[in-house]
Structure 1
Amino acid sequence: MHAKEPAIDWHTQDFQEFVPQNFESQQMVDPNVGYDPFSTPTNISSMAGPSHQPPTINPYAQDASATYFQNANAFQNPAYHLYWPVGPQPSGLLAYQRTAHDFFIPDALREELQKKAEIARQVAPNSTLPAIEQFHSLFCLDISPQKNTAPFGYASWIYKAVSSKDGKTYALRRLENFRLTSETAIRSAQPWKRVLNGNVVTIHEAFTTRAFGDSSLILVTDYHPNSKSLADEHFKPAQRFHGRQPTSSHVPEQVLWGYTVQIASALKAIHGSGLAARLITPSKILLTSKNRIRLNACSIMDIVQFDNARPVSELQADDFIQLGRLILCIANNNPTAHLQMQKSIDYITRSYTARLKECVQWLLNPQPSSGSPSSPTSPVPMQKDIDTFLAGIADQFASVFDSELHAQDTLIVNLGRELESSRLVRLLIKLSMINERPELDASQNMPGNAGASSSTVWAETGERYYLKLFRDYVFHQVDQNGHPVTDLAHVLDCLNKLDAGTDEKIPLISRDEQNVLIVSYREVKRALESAFQDL
């Protein structure tokens, strides 16, 4: 037997080693999808034109995974609702013991405030919206791109903008293709500036502009971030389960009374100024927080229908009818419930108390007849005005006012809980500024250096050396296995005792575990203040 010689045409050097090529790169990879600018290298030459070859993609490389798979964490808002929830309240805590959640505001309130702040800072990249007068950084707030001319007779848009005068954020409502026929019409918005009520969106100014390429009316009002209309709240229920028809929930009667009382308070301020709201519809009432509403888009009808002005008394009487229709529609969970009046009233009779039914009927009656009471609680016919209506629902005013006081107390308690949080921040800032400074570190100064004399206090025998050890005692603790311990309660306890300067003594161990210093929080605080003053 003899070994067979290999064939001449079977030499491995004739074959190139496998290198991933871009055979199907155009079919497999879309450069516009899954691109991560923080992890995927960018080939500038590939952007020069379509004639250039696409860059070679190696699917086996570490940095190529972002091209094939979308990075789920890229360009996403923080998920505030994924915070660790509050567990069951421990029953064995003593009077002076607290849990970690007791040191912070409730999760629901924190999430709401964070969402408002995040939405207020939203900007549109590469926006083509123009700057109007002193307002810049316009951001469209409309959910639907379709034009709707129903409320005002003109296509309207709402924007968020920042004023260059005071730096505050305002809401700009624009009426498209509006032609001003008289300067007196635009002046009809001036009296609305004096209407300062907690249930009315404050109006600041009104003017016309051609910045959008047409003649537009701009109404500047206060901006309330993360708000929605009553139509979105009650007439667009969210779908809870996939594939199932969304169902409308029953609105509690106390919520309806809350809406009624707040709108009545707004009408008191509006009618008292000789004006009329004229637009009490679910789509133009903002829900700024839980059960807190504000009348929006006021004064627009005064400008738009200036040439066809009606008596103020007639417009104020129409406000009551619109309020009655609003409560009727929300109670029936139907935006067109006022078109079937008797059927809607029968539903209120079955689902709510007779007091609410009488209130709605009083609002819907154009003028009180001689045989029917003019107030929900008074059998004597009286004039139908806002004062009569307020007197009829005085008990509901007291109930809503009491609820507002309880809500205010809750906010004050949460504010007081966060009031002294800055104390711990100040301590952390001082410790960070003092520790690990190269110019004060004795190991970094040579024997001839002028800073060596000032750094002797930071040596292992110096009087401020235990500030370093205290930092390790608070933040760098380990367990018996040498694993880091992240105990928030320990950190807060130490910082609070340091801020108070208690006489409790603590052992401070050096990193080589050769020295142990027994000092009190009072001594550490004295050294901290002295070292910070020397900086």
Structure 2
Amino acid sequence: MALLQAIPQPKPGLHLIATSPSLQHETGTTLFKPTQFTDFTQNHYDINSVDAVNGTSETPIGFDPFMTNVSQGLQSSQYNPYAEEHNPLAGASASYYGAQNTFSTPSQPLQYHLYYPLAPIRDTLQPYQRAVFDLFLPESLREDLQKRSEAARQVLASQPGVQSPSLQQYHSLVPLDTKLKNAPGIFGLPTWVWKANSRKNGNVYCLRRVEGFRLTNEDAIKAVNSWKKITHPNIVTTVEAFTTRDFNDSSLIFVHNYHPLSKTLAEHHFPTTTNRFSRTAPVPEKVLWSYLVQLSSALKVIHKAKLAARCIDISKVILTDKNRIRLSACSIYDVIQFEGHRRTEDLQQEDFLHLGKLMLSIGTNTPLRSTHDLRAVLDQFSRSYSSDLRERVDWLLSAPQTQLKTAEQLICDLATHIDDVCVASFNAYDEATIHLGRELENGRLVRLLAKLGTINERPEFDGDPNWSETDHRYTLKLFRDYVFHQVDSHGNPVLDLGHIISCLNKLDAGTEEKIYLTSRDHQSTFLVTYRELKKQVQAAFGDLQKGNTKQQQQNSRGF
């Protein structure tokens, strides 16, 4: 493995320095090629899919969790992810999105491990030495972010006779449900979940369709306006709601923020496929405390706005990150049950009861139904968890005695455990700051490389075909060779990422360190500092900017 370490400067008379061994990137070895299947219909979702709705971070590369009867295989032919034309290898269209696939995906699974450590880490590294992957995001975090981006960009390919509906300004609908049939859920009506893009701002949103709902009161849809004002890290933000007949019926559409690769707590804690010979381990108590603190914080904001959540159900609380949950599907009950005229105070007290049932269901690994004896389930719950947690769940399940329960009271009772959640959150924040700091350094180098790339080997500028080969631009060309085109004593290319990053950092800082540059024919030599090279880069790039501004002015005048 190439190590990034202090690199001695070249001595006069030497062209390039032989440094560490070559750094090889891992390239793809398989080709993604899904097979053909029938036209898309809503009733073709596979409820027995191993993966959860909207995918998971453990989804294998090339597996599509959304549709049924899709058998996807991997070819054994060699694939070059850097080639512009893949027809000789793939035997298919070279476009990024293949028209023959129901789900339009890249012709090759993304290479998530381009900087993955190729060998075990040595514990004998010196303080000034770094491994290659120490300069970038951790491979697990980078892979997760790339999968989220890929899930957000996934679209349905057009097929003859199959047309995805376009709802007002929302287009490119992709189903996120794996339901086999449109059975009524907790709302009493069949619902479907979609991902769609907005024509207004280009963002991706989550659309929840309530099938067969007929709006009889125009004031009901206005109830969504109160939810649009609520912004909380544990609540999925409501964007808008509208009615449509684009599905050949009367449907109600709710638009929420989209969180890729999220899944419900029901899918996370009650997977559809389990090993019948293994016993499910109880959920750690710290996880339950974290759930309780986050949902209590969400209820505090909701109740303070004179609203009630009404959707604290294991199928409507989504897991968007490690132990990070959010209340989804808020505001739906307020619209479809607008004629109920129930007191908000009574609905808020039901929120505490539903929260208690949620904790019981997860703690006992038992989906609760109306026929369950809550006291018996609570006794089972107390066998696995502390008396402190049992008392909090008991308080949530019990009816209010002298005064109504409040979210503020619940938050005060959870003060000790809120501290644990805050510590974990701050630690995650510090870790993210460290990773962003690495990417900040990489961003500086990318901007510097962009400047060098526009200067070096430019065919012609300002009527001079030798512009990039004269004056200080010629020195920058020699510096390019010094950084990127080193060879060893046998003339073999030397690929040392440490040398490249070290030189670019010194150039960006403009240090006083001197380097010895020589031409390829050894006829010209220069002894310059990084500060002088930095001034030369700024001067040459400034000339290009002036030329670009002059051309824009001429175009604006009609020349």
Name the TM-score, length of structure 1 as normaliser: 0.77
Identify which of 249, 257, 271 aligns with 2:303: 271
RMSD between aligned residues = 3.1
Which residue number in structure 1 is paired with residue 205 of structure 2?
170
User: How far off is 1:219 after superposition?
Assistant: 0.8
Contact between 1:324 and 1:363, CA under 8 Å: does it hold in 2? yes
> Is residue 2:341 matched to residue 1:309?
yes
The AA in structure 1 aligned to 2:310 is R
Identify which of 390, 405, 415 aligns with 2:436: 415
The AA in structure 1 aligned to 2:219 is T
Unaligned segments of structure 2, at least 5 residues: 1-34, 38-71, 78-85, 93-104, 545-559
User: How far off is 1:189 after superposition?
Assistant: 2.2
Counterparts in 2 of 1:340 and 1:172: CA distance versus 1, 3 Å:
same
Q: Which moved more, 1:84-93 or 1:194-203?
A: 84-93
Q: Distance in 1 between matches of 2:154 and 2:132?
A: 32
Which residue number in structure 2 is paired with residue 125 of structure 1?
157
Q: Distance in 2 between matches of 1:333 and 1:258?
A: 17
Which residue number in structure 2 is paired with residue 444 of structure 1?
none
5 Å-filtered alignment, 1:337-376, equals: 339-368=372-401
Identify which of 301, 309, 312 aligns with 1:280: 312
Contact between 1:137 and 1:162, CA under 8 Å: does it hold in 2? yes
1:383-405 C-alpha deviation (Å, 9 max, x unpaired): 42222222211211222122212
Unaligned segments of structure 1, at least 5 residues: 1-29, 44-72, 369-380, 441-448
> Is residue 2:417 matched to residue 1:396?
yes
Counterparts in 2 of 1:106 and 1:345: CA distance versus 1, 3 Å:
same
User: How far off is 1:320 after superposition?
Assistant: 0.9
Q: Distance in 2 between matches of 1:283 and 1:365?
A: 23
Q: Give the secondary-structure state (helix, strand or coil) at the position aligned to 2:515.
A: strand
Identify which of 431, 446, 451 aligns with 2:464: 451
User: How far off is 1:430 after superposition?
Assistant: 1.5
Q: Which moved more, 1:96-105 or 1:422-431?
A: 96-105
Contact between 2:116 and 2:139, CA under 8 Å: does it hold in 1? no
> Is residue 2:172 matched to residue 1:137?
yes
> Is residue 2:159 matched to residue 1:150?
no
Contact between 2:243 and 2:251, CA under 8 Å: does it hold in 1? yes
User: How far off is 1:365 after superposition?
Assistant: 1.1
Q: Distance in 2 between matches of 1:31 and 1:286?
A: 32
User: How far off is 1:107 after superposition?
Assistant: 2.0
User: How far off is 1:479 after superposition?
Assistant: 2.2
Q: How many residues of Structure 1 are paired with residues of Structure 2 in the alignment?
A: 450
Name the TM-score, length of structure 2 as normaliser: 0.74
Which residue number in structure 1 is paired with residue 478 of structure 2?
469
Contact between 2:282 and 2:384, CA under 8 Å: does it hold in 1? no
Q: Distance in 2 between matches of 1:477 and 1:245?
A: 59
User: How far off is 1:175 after superposition?
Assistant: 0.7
Q: Distance in 2 between matches of 1:85 and 1:151?
A: 47
Based on CA coordinates, which of the two structures has the bigger radius of gyration? 1
Counterparts in 2 of 1:238 and 1:422: CA distance versus 1, 3 Å:
farther
Q: Distance in 1 between matches of 2:175 and 2:425?
A: 32
The AA in structure 2 aligned to 1:471 is R
Q: Which moved more, 1:102-111 or 1:276-285?
A: 102-111
Contact between 1:498 and 1:522, CA under 8 Å: does it hold in 2? yes
Which residue number in structure 1 is paired with residue 359 of structure 2?
327
> Is residue 2:527 matched to residue 1:500?
no
Which residue number in structure 1 is paired with residue 87 of structure 2?
38
> Is residue 2:480 matched to residue 1:431?
no
Contact between 1:238 and 1:246, CA under 8 Å: does it hold in 2? no
Counterparts in 2 of 1:82 and 1:336: CA distance versus 1, 3 Å:
farther
5 Å-filtered alignment, 1:367-386, equals: 367-368=400-401, 383-386=404-407
Percent of aligned pairs sharing the same letter: 47
Identify which of 503, 512, 519 aligns with 2:521: 512
Q: Give the secondary-structure state (helix, strand or coil) at the position aligned to 1:208.
A: strand
Contact between 1:337 and 1:344, CA under 8 Å: does it hold in 2? no
1:201-255 C-alpha deviation (Å, 9 max, x unpaired): 111221111111110001111111121111111111776xxx8756533311111
Q: Distance in 1 between matches of 2:351 and 2:472?
A: 76
Counterparts in 2 of 1:180 and 1:39: CA distance versus 1, 3 Å:
same
Contact between 1:123 and 1:137, CA under 8 Å: does it hold in 2? yes
Counterparts in 2 of 1:31 and 1:92: CA distance versus 1, 3 Å:
closer
The AA in structure 2 aligned to 1:320 is F
1:57-112 C-alpha deviation (Å, 9 max, x unpaired): xxxxxxxxxxxxxxxx9723314257514866554445444332232122222222
Q: Distance in 2 between matches of 1:416 and 1:506?
A: 28
Higher relative contact order (CA closer than 8 Å, sequence separation 6+):
2
Q: Distance in 1 between matches of 2:317 and 2:118?
A: 34
User: How far off is 1:195 after superposition?
Assistant: 2.2
Counterparts in 2 of 1:347 and 1:513: CA distance versus 1, 3 Å:
farther
Q: Distance in 2 between matches of 1:496 and 1:410?
A: 23
Q: Distance in 1 between matches of 2:537 and 2:230?
A: 53
Which residue number in structure 2 is paired with residue 7 of structure 1?
none
1:357-411 C-alpha deviation (Å, 9 max, x unpaired): 111111111234xxxxxxxxxxxx7642222222211211222122212222222
Contact between 1:140 and 1:160, CA under 8 Å: does it hold in 2? yes
Which residue number in structure 1 is paired with residue 10 of structure 2?
none
User: How far off is 1:493 after superposition?
Assistant: 0.6
Q: Distance in 2 between matches of 1:524 and 1:76?
A: 41
Q: Distance in 1 between matches of 2:426 and 2:91?
A: 58
Counterparts in 2 of 1:194 and 1:245: CA distance versus 1, 3 Å:
same
Counterparts in 2 of 1:136 and 1:94: CA distance versus 1, 3 Å:
same
